[in-house]
Structure 1
Amino acid sequence: MEQIFDTSNLVKSGSQANAAAIQTELIWFEQVLQLRSAINFGNVPAGTSIFDVQPPDLSAYPSKYAEFIAQNQLNFEERLLLFLAMVSQVKPQCLDIFLVQNSATGQIFTEFGGRKGNVFSGFLPTAETFLFIIAADDLALRFDLLRLFDAKHPLFVLDVLEYEPLPPGEPVSSIPLHINKNWFEEFTTGERSRPRFSTEFPAQLIETQMEPDDLVLPAHILDQLELIDAWLAHNETMMNEFALKRKLKPGFRALFFGQPGTGKSLAAALLGKKHGFPVYRIDLSRIVSKYIGETGKNLSKVFDAAENQQWILFFDEADALFGKRTNVSDARDRYANQETSYLLQRIEDHNGLVILASNFKQNIDQAFLRRFQSIVEFPIPQADQRLKLWKQSFSELTKLESKVNLNEIANKYELSGGVIINVVRYATLKMLKDEAAEIRQKDILEGIKIELKKSGRTM
């Protein structure tokens, strides 16, 4: 059967490239539906096949959708499956053909599959819809097509299509077909929106305007961070081009430990900033639930959303969940340990960078430590490092009182970078409040006193 794709009126470049590629794919999809209908009613010559309408060549379109199809070498069946999963959000009315009712039952034909949404009143496709379009009643072909719904198929491994486990007894053909929200955004707008903190996604995006020079750490610690940086830069090459995928587990796991304010969060944010990867912070001390099973559910949502997204997951206060294992004294303790083991397995299986942060290394269960590829200590800075932190923390637009001796302050007070920033904020606010011309020595010392008092120390 001859197919004609008139795309002369489609824009093939710029911001409309995604729409142009998807419009072309939609034309093909509608032709397939029309041919299936014609075959069913016997309106075409014998031997006519659904495969006579071949999918279009999208290589001329600089779009995310075309790029994905080319990179994954999707064939006829895979492209139809992908587009069927997203067409209800592109042109839902083209599926109205399946809303024809069986006059005997008053319902739509079972062979069409499909379902109704909670709000959406149109036709939502299922695996049966796909099988009907491609194979109709050809059992051999239907059985062969079921392989596309294996959880190991790239469309599901990459989370392009979301896989919903079926209740016991439900046929595989009743699997709902819907595309992952992130992939749909990428195919249509070219980029993915970032989720907001909520009960459904208990993680918060952290960003920084600081630069690598603002992270003041000993040279050997910076070397350790460079190893993580190297993994972010070269993981794909190492796993694919060097064929280590079958030998190494996916992902990279690191433990950052050190007192508050020593740069753990900043280091994570800078790694993300350098590579353009969003960093999501999960405060485990706030998420660990007193209700059995809730912690696992909450964190599973984060891992599910982050899969194949090139996100960096930063678990703060990690000892709240991954601390010394509870001695099993009752069913609750046993379940809590099982839940922790399950989440540790999710961390091990995650294919991105996971950073666990703790104030003290000894707080983390020793059995967990061997699972990390990198363990990085963030120490309290030495006197020379503290001096650098003091100098770079004050605004260049402010002046220091002549009696301020930062070298003396740096040597006398053992403070972390985070504490120094707090003192700078306090002294600057005092200057502004009092309409002073300079940042005063007394305000710096008062700020240090306040910060030391927080940790039970005195000057």
Structure 2
Amino acid sequence: MASRSLIERAQIWLLHIVDDALHAHFGNSERAAIAPFDCAEASSLSTHFQRGVNSGMELALFALALSHHVRPGALDHLLLKHLPEGGEFPEFGGAKTGNYRGILPTGETAQFILAGDNLEKRMIVAHILSGDHWFARKRILWLEPVRAGEPVMSGRLIVDPEIVEEITTGKVSPPRFSPDFPAEHIETGMEWNDLVLHPATMAQIREIEHWIAHNDTLLDSWGMRGRIKPGYRALFHGPPGTGKTLTATLLGKHSERDVFRIDLSRTVSKYIGETEKNLASLLDKAESKGWILFFDEADALFGKRTEVRDAHDKYANQQVAYLLQRIENYDGLVILASNQRTNIDDAFVRRLQAIITFPMPQPDERLELWRKALPPQMALADDIDWHDVAERHELSGAAILNVIHFCAIDVLATGGRPLNLASLHAAIQREYVKEGRIV
């Protein structure tokens, strides 16, 4: 977080620029040049700045967009100084909305303050506020979209709420699942050696690790950015409990990237356009932060598209097509999870870099899972033969962990007596019943 003294000095510097612009407008005097500010130091205004602000105009725009968050009413006081009787001042721009009673700066406000009537400078401001500028690409600062037919620059200046929170409170709260943010952060305390996968599955997971480690070198140092699509898309498919989610979290943990799970069974909206809007917003945010996106229950959105019987089906298919294209262009790692490979639309399968099977563990893998799951403090009776247990009971890794969890609690509740074969079989049968399997 930037020091409060730096933020305060940046705001005072901005208000001098605004005051000079108003003096020039109402006094018909020449505009003063923007006073210099230490732009190298200004790059520390937020850890979200992955490069320094390289011009006074960029810094002034950022400070202007922050002004009503850190110095509410400052712009209104300056306007009152030059317009004591009030009145219309459309050249200044600005908007009033919601609970905030002051002026919220817009693109027009920025152009008036930094460029006045100078068309060339106004175009520079417009470029900085365009989608092509690094402010927008890194989701730091952008213009609020306006209704069709309204001037683009009449949109409000929007700063990423996380940056505002970091600057004003010194911390950033993790995003919470909501209709506007349909994802939840997932992490694990486990390590790769806690995971038991088929060797062929693990070999493909190592390929994803290699992409994470070397993709930037390939695109930039080796000059392949213009030749291959950004990002990496993988399908994890297999029965529940076989390690798909844990693998995704471990990929994030060991690449120091946040992993966000989007449960599409909870996200897909019955209202046309809502799913598209919410997921597109999430993708924009994720792309600027390098998140790994894990689409759980992917069949809900990426499954076979419906036959077009009415207008709703037509628009639903258009919505899916848009999101397929958006995910194809996502420059990070996207993982889809499904119980069945055949449930995913062939149109999207063709765009995947990897299709990775997570099969039910075989007896030797189940034996390893039983041994890894056992707490070392839990005493065992002599009648348990783990080779026989692993051979006889076809269980996923998650199911085996559930059984051990139940057994461990039972052992503790009975004063620490050793776990015997009868109690273990009862716990296994309990898991079978839970899964709806015949005992």
TM-score by length of 2: 0.91
Task: Determine the structure 1 residue equivalent to 2:135.
Answer: 155
Task: Determine the structure 2 residue equivalent to 1:228.
Answer: 208
Change (3 A) 1:107 1:250: farther
Q: Is the 8 A contact 2:177 2:183 kept in 1?
A: yes
Question: Is 2:62 the counterpart of 1:82?
Answer: yes
Q: Give the secondary-structure state (helix, strand or coil) at the position aligned to 1:227.
A: helix
Task: Determine the structure 2 residue equivalent to 1:4.
Answer: none
Measure, in 1, the Cα distance between the counterparts of 2:8 and 2:255.
33
Task: Determine the structure 2 residue equivalent to 1:9.
Answer: none
**Residue type of the alignment partner of 2:6:** A
How far does the alpha carbon of each residue in 1:160-188 deviate from its partner, in whole angstroms, 9 at most, with x for none?
A: 11332221221223121121112334556
Alignment equivalent of 1:428, drawn from 401, 408, 423: 408
**Residue type of the alignment partner of 2:271:** Y
How far does the alpha carbon of each residue in 1:325-356 deviate from its partner, in whole angstroms, 9 at most, with x for none?
A: 21222222222211111121221122222110
Alignment equivalent of 1:54, drawn from 36, 39, 56: 36
Question: Is 2:388 the counterpart of 1:408?
Answer: yes
Change (3 A) 1:255 1:432: same
Q: Give the secondary-structure state (helix, strand or coil) at the position aligned to 1:178.
A: strand
* Greater Cα offset, 415-424 or 439-448: 439-448
Measure, in 1, the Cα distance between the counterparts of 2:81 and 2:330.
45
How far does the alpha carbon of each residue in 1:129-149 deviate from its partner, in whole angstroms, 9 at most, with x for none?
A: 111111222234324432223
Measure, in 2, the Cα distance between the counterparts of 1:446 and 1:103.
82
Residue 371 of structure 1 deviates from its aligned partner by 1.0
Q: Is the 8 A contact 2:93 2:105 kept in 1?
A: yes
Change (3 A) 1:150 1:162: closer
How far does the alpha carbon of each residue in 1:73-104 deviate from its partner, in whole angstroms, 9 at most, with x for none?
A: 52122221122111221223432245439979
**Residue type of the alignment partner of 1:32:** I
Residue 120 of structure 1 deviates from its aligned partner by 1.3
* Greater Cα offset, 255-264 or 274-283: 274-283
Matches within 5 A, 1:92-103: 92-100=72-80
Matches within 5 A, 1:114-153: 114-153=94-133
How far does the alpha carbon of each residue in 1:182-225 deviate from its partner, in whole angstroms, 9 at most, with x for none?
A: 23345566653211112222222212111111111123322211
Measure, in 2, the Cα distance between the counterparts of 1:29 and 1:154.
21
**Residue type of the alignment partner of 1:250:** P
Task: Determine the structure 2 residue equivalent to 1:317.
Answer: 297
* Greater Cα offset, 231-240 or 274-283: 231-240
Question: Is 2:346 the counterpart of 1:366?
Answer: yes
Matches within 5 A, 1:26-45: 26-42=11-27
- Could you tell me which runs of 5 or more consecutive residues in structure 2 were left unpaired when the two chains were aligned: none
Residue 279 of structure 1 deviates from its aligned partner by 1.5
Task: Determine the structure 2 residue equivalent to 1:111.
Answer: 91
Alignment equivalent of 2:182, drawn from 190, 202, 209: 202
Q: Identity of paired residues, percent?
A: 43
- Could you tell me which runs of 5 or more consecutive residues in structure 1 were left unpaired when the two chains were aligned: 1-14
How far does the alpha carbon of each residue in 1:37-76 deviate from its partner, in whole angstroms, 9 at most, with x for none?
A: 44345497x6x6323x1222434x793538838x255212
Matches within 5 A, 1:299-338: 299-338=279-318
Question: Is 2:270 the counterpart of 1:297?
Answer: no
Measure, in 2, the Cα distance between the counterparts of 1:177 and 1:425.
52
Q: Is the 8 A contact 1:18 1:65 kept in 2?
A: no
* Greater Cα offset, 400-409 or 140-149: 140-149
Q: Is the 8 A contact 2:39 2:52 kept in 1?
A: no
Change (3 A) 1:43 1:101: closer
Measure, in 1, the Cα distance between the counterparts of 2:353 and 2:171.
31
Q: Give the secondary-structure state (helix, strand or coil) at the position aligned to 2:143.
A: coil
Alignment equivalent of 2:9, drawn from 15, 18, 24: 24
Q: Is the 8 A contact 1:135 1:142 kept in 2?
A: yes
Measure, in 1, the Cα distance between the counterparts of 2:12 and 2:227.
43
Q: Is the 8 A contact 2:292 2:334 kept in 1?
A: yes
**Residue type of the alignment partner of 1:183:** I
Q: Is the 8 A contact 1:250 1:349 kept in 2?
A: yes
TM-score by length of 1: 0.87
Matches within 5 A, 1:369-384: 369-384=349-364
Q: Give the secondary-structure state (helix, strand or coil) at the position aligned to 1:280.
A: strand
How far does the alpha carbon of each residue in 1:355-406 deviate from its partner, in whole angstroms, 9 at most, with x for none?
A: 1000111111222111111211111112221111101112122111221111
Measure, in 2, the Cα distance between the counterparts of 1:109 and 1:313.
46
Measure, in 2, the Cα distance between the counterparts of 1:141 and 1:62.
23
**Residue type of the alignment partner of 1:371:** R
How far does the alpha carbon of each residue in 1:299-327 deviate from its partner, in whole angstroms, 9 at most, with x for none?
A: 23432432311222111111122112212
Alignment equivalent of 2:159, drawn from 167, 179, 183: 179
Cα-Cα RMSD: 2.7
